[in-house]
Structure 1
Amino acid sequence: MSTQASEILIGEGPVLLSLDGSIARLRLNRPQQSNGISIALLEALHQAVMRCHGDPRIRVVLLSGEGPNFCAGGDVKEFAAKGEGLPDFLRQATSYLQISASALIHLEAPVVTAVQGYAAGGGGLGLVCASDLVIAARSAKFMAGATRVGMAPDAGASVALPRLIGFRRAMDMILTNRVMDAAEALDVGLVTRVVADDALEAAALDVARELAAGAPKALAASKRLLWSGLGLGIDACLPEEARTVSELSGTADAREGLAAVIGRRAPRFTGR
């Protein structure tokens, strides 16, 4: 590995990007909000991923989240504040999230994601599904989260998750919103490796360094073949997923679900 100093590509804002030799360090940077998804973060994420696409020096992307959680999903307070304007807001948000997840899948460089704390919703679980290798801290937890606020999964998770862990397990995660711990996530194939909490960063960086030392064209071709062989058809499914998320966000149940999460109480869904 090169010993050159890290080059800052994006040094401030909700997403940070630096280049350490041939490893791009892509970090979600809203730790006080558990890296909850906002429009500003999504715009910055898309910009950062596209910079990775355009930089021939990058052989590996290491994705992580600042603070105690990788990404706890959507910023429910920002969502709730939109009121009846939420469907229009989520059309924009879902679009940015989907194209960012798709861009990670189509990136030639392998994507290694380090997960601590919660990986929930489209931002958390969705980005995990769009990663090539996932290193999880032993205390990491995974949850779909969408239906508990009256919505549907996004970031391509409705397509990717069943392919990765199986239809029945994916249905269970999405419909019940149960929390899956790191040990089970490893057992069902959602993550690649589980390590001690205090070893997460070093372990993920070791994997990134190993990949960066490999043959980049061979790794890129292998990644493309494996995703294609998985039969995702993800790009064709994204428009329907986005339409469904936006439509559901305009329901009374979605507003009640967001209010219940913010108020830390059980929701009272009425089917409207």
Structure 2
Amino acid sequence: MPKKVSSQWPLSSDEARHSEGKFTMTADNDQRLALVGEGPVLLDLYPDGVAHLRLNRPDAANGLNLDMLEGLQQVLLRVHGDRRVRAVLLTGEGKNFCAGGDVHVFLQQGEALPEYIRIATARLQVVASQLIRLNAPVIAAVHGFAAGGGGLGLVCSADHVVAGESAKFLAGATRVGMVPDAGVSVTLPHLVGFRRAMDILMFNPVIPASDALSMGLISRVVPDDRLADEAMAMARQLAAGATVALAETKRLLWNGLNQSVDGCMPAENHAQAQLAATADALEGLAAVIEKRAPRFTGR
């Protein structure tokens, strides 16, 4: 694992180092059309209408910096406007789906950190809303870690989630003195229940794929070496379905809680920006970089 992964919020170096697996498409690669072929977010379109969106910062565990968030917004806008797209497959390049934000970038902001966090959180919220509101169903395929607003937030905003058996999930925000974002304060309790969500967000356990399945956080678990094929098979099954009916079904289900998701996001953004100015948040970020336990003071 590249050493840079150890700097990814909210993972410790040991957690990132022990992530396993790698998402690799092997079938029909010669048939795909590369719509976005370079940059932090890649987009391929297959003849059957499956759009494959790939997070592409593998050396940074696909941490969501501002460039990647901007790339995600633009790619999702493109997907939304392309009538050829019938289903979306979301994956991460390298050893992790998305292990959170880059704490080095956070700490480099100095006194500008609250403004940086405010902008990053706002962009992430747009991305989460885009995934929820796409007509095409979204399948997230998770290998390695899905952590923080970037990883867990995208998982909670997908319509279906398939994970490799070695995948792990982590909230992580409160352990660096911040709060959940990407609408997780609403979506996670709906997925796993209020009490379990409270435990996940406050105690920050590392959740193995089998537990994530049993609690309802994800849809299914498959062997690591079958993840790419199974995820693509799911996407193709949906792409071959009655797309208008699927889009309306998706809309009806999300509308049951989407009003609350939209309503919570400004509050998440405000809290995140405020917390970025606290000593505890800076201490939490520094502790990750220095590979030690944080010493919070409540300031």
TM-score by length of 1: 0.97
Instruction: Map residues 174-189 of structure 1 onto 2, 5 A cutoff.
Output: 174-189=201-216
Secondary structure class of the residue paired with 2:71: helix
Deviations 1:32-91 (A, max 9, x none): 100011001100011111111111110001000001100001111111111221100011
| C-alpha RMSD of the superposition | 1.3
* Aligned match of 2:22: none
Which residue among 25, 33, 51 is the counterpart of 2:78?
51
1:40 is the counterpart of 2:67: yes
Instruction: Map residues 180-199 of structure 1 onto 2, 5 A cutoff.
Output: 180-199=207-226
Closer, same or farther: CA 3–185 of 1 in aligned 2, 3 Å: closer
Could you tell me how far apart the structure 1 residues matched to 2:224 and 2:259 are? 32
Could you tell me how far apart the structure 2 residues matched to 1:66 and 1:12 are? 12
Could you tell me how far apart the structure 1 residues matched to 2:105 and 2:195 are? 32
Which residue among 268, 271, 287 is the counterpart of 1:260?
287
Letter in 2 for 1:28: L
1:140 is the counterpart of 2:159: no
Letter in 1 for 2:121: T
Instruction: Map residues 1-272 of structure 1 onto 2, 5 A cutoff.
Output: 5-21=31-47, 22-230=49-257, 233-272=260-299
Letter in 2 for 1:37: L
Could you tell me how far apart the structure 2 residues matched to 1:261 and 1:128 are? 23
* Aligned match of 2:4: none
Please state how far the C-alpha of 1:170 moved relative to its aligned partner. 0.6
Deviations 1:180-212 (A, max 9, x none): 110010001110010001110000000001000
Could you tell me how far apart the structure 2 residues matched to 1:226 and 1:14 are? 31
Deviations 1:190-248 (A, max 9, x none): 10010001110000000001000001000000001111224652112111111111110
Could you tell me how far apart the structure 2 residues matched to 1:170 and 1:74 are? 21
* Aligned match of 2:7: none
Letter in 2 for 1:198: D
Could you tell me how far apart the structure 2 residues matched to 1:16 and 1:231 are? 27
Secondary structure class of the residue paired with 1:233: helix
Instruction: Answer whether contact 1:53 1:107 (CA < 8 A) is retained.
Output: yes
Q: Which moved more, 1:197-206 or 1:230-239?
A: 230-239
Deviations 1:158-178 (A, max 9, x none): 111011110011110100111
TM-score by length of 2: 0.89
Could you tell me how far apart the structure 2 residues matched to 1:73 and 1:84 are? 21
Please state how far the C-alpha of 1:156 moved relative to its aligned partner. 0.8
Contiguous gaps of at least 5 residues in structure 2: 1-27
Count of aligned pairs: 271
Contiguous gaps of at least 5 residues in structure 1: none
Could you tell me how far apart the structure 2 residues matched to 1:236 and 1:91 are? 16
Could you tell me how far apart the structure 2 residues matched to 1:204 and 1:239 are? 33
Secondary structure class of the residue paired with 2:73: helix
* Aligned match of 2:18: none
Letter in 1 for 2:282: R
Instruction: Answer whether contact 1:4 1:20 (CA < 8 A) is retained.
Output: no
